[in-house]
Amino acid sequence: MKKRNKVTYADFDKLEKIRVYMEHHKEEVFTPEFMKLLADRYLNYFTVRNRIKKLYPTIVRKLIENNVINIIPNEKELEKKG
């Protein structure tokens, strides 16, 4: 027989209850079928592409601010400044 972890709940919201349940019942929750369903639903091309589109500007902005990447101006921008 499988040993169960006893969890006492305080005033958790629904998402916290779900998280705690999933942490203590990994074998029951994360079955291969469920993982396939999650991958099909959330790792499709459209979802990943939209997520990258949302994150890309902030990532590039941080890289520019931290001088990780440098912007090289094109000829038109150089003529405007000069």
Q: CA-CA distance, 80 to 73, in Å (whole number)?
A: 11
Residues 6+ apart with CB under 8 A from 63: 69
Instruction: Write down the pLDDT at residue 79.
Output: 72
Inform me whether the pLDDT recorded for 72 exceeds 60. Answer: yes
**Contact by Cβ (8 Å): 5, 21:** no
> What confidence tens digit (pLDDT) does each residue in 13-47 have?
788 888 888 888 878 878 889 888 888 888 888 88
Write b or e for each residue in 16-44: b if 16 or more Cβ atoms lie within 10 A of its Cβ, otherwise e: eeeeeeeeeeeeeeeeeeeeeeeeeeeee
Residue 9 φ then ψ, to 5° = -95, 135
Q: CA-CA distance, 77 to 75, in Å (whole number)?
A: 5
